[in-house]
Amino acid sequence: MTGTLSKMETRHDDVVSYGLQLREVRFDLNQAVGKDLRLTYSGNIICENCGKKTKKSYAEGHCYPCTMKLASCDLCILKPELCHFDKGTCREPQWGEENCFKNHIVYLANSSGLKVGITRKTQVPIRWMDQGASEALPILEVKNRFVSGQVEVLFKKHINDKTDWRKMLKGEPDSIDLKEWRDKLLKEVAEDLKHFDVTVLDQEIYKFKYPVEKYPEKVNSFNLDKTNEVTGRLMGIKGQYLIFDTGVLNVRSHTGYEITLEEIHATT
């Protein structure tokens, strides 16, 4: 089947369920684990927004003009504490109102170790499966993305906000007592947190198990700009990565790339 890559669809089941939409066909990736696959890149990249061909993919699947005009590609998406909506300079005010001015969750997660992060409330628990977290705990709820970014900055003074993707792909991390860390960190930032309108949450920890038969001892990543074909046995899926016995492919970073995906059948 042929189509352009986009972020993998996830569903929180006993084992995280992954699907890949290629044009009209949804490919069930969990069913492909353990099978030999070939993924061939045509050389075409299609912008996720305008549908035009682009020589290079920017901001996860956009052409350069769309990257420069879309609010979803602005710097404040990566650093929400830099939101400039109140200055009247938001690229797309209506988009900002529909996406940024919604309740957001500040959370702790364990993917390659303890980290803090933020997500729209409607993205729970999708956000954590996308990043390959083994466990996650919502700790605060706020009214908009800007405030969530400001609060996240407080926590970043004490813990990491990044995932070590290579470590995440080498296996399951040691379990962390997220509730104990929540209580500890809330005490650390208590004085600064008084300046923000937040709701402290008391929820259960989300747990995630991924469809992985075997983790790689050494992580080698594929880049479709350097090689137009990926062939190997699919050993598993975690986060936005396809784990082959020959290397790993970050699907999200190749959004918009036109590929053909096929199962390789052994010949006798």
- What is the average pLDDT across 109-119? 96
Residues 116-141 have pLDDT tens digits of: 999 999 999 999 999 999 999 999 99
pLDDT of residue 185: 97
pLDDT digits (tens, 9 = 90+) for 202-249: 999 999 999 999 999 999 999 999 999 999 999 999 999 999 999 999
pLDDT confidence bin for 22, thresholds 50/70/90 = confident
CA-nearest of 158, 19, 146, 6 to 85 is 146
The mean pLDDT of the chain is 95
Q: What is the pLDDT of residues 23-68, one digit of tens each?
A: 778 889 999 999 999 999 999 999 999 999 999 999 989 999 999 9
**Token pair recorded at residue 51:** 């549908």
pLDDT in tens, 174-197: 999 999 999 999 999 999 999 999
Amino acid 267: pLDDT: 57
* Res 266 pLDDT > 80: no
pLDDT band at 268 (very low <50, low <70, confident <90, very high): very low
How far apart CA 188 and CA 38 sit, in angstroms, is 50
Q: Which amino acid is at 155?
A: F
Q: What are the C-alpha distances in Å from 220 to residues 100, 208, 241, 256, 260?
A: 36, 24, 12, 22, 22
At residue 171 the predicted structure's pLDDT band, cuts being 50, 70 and 90, is very high
CA 5, 221, 208, 161 torsion-angle sign: negative
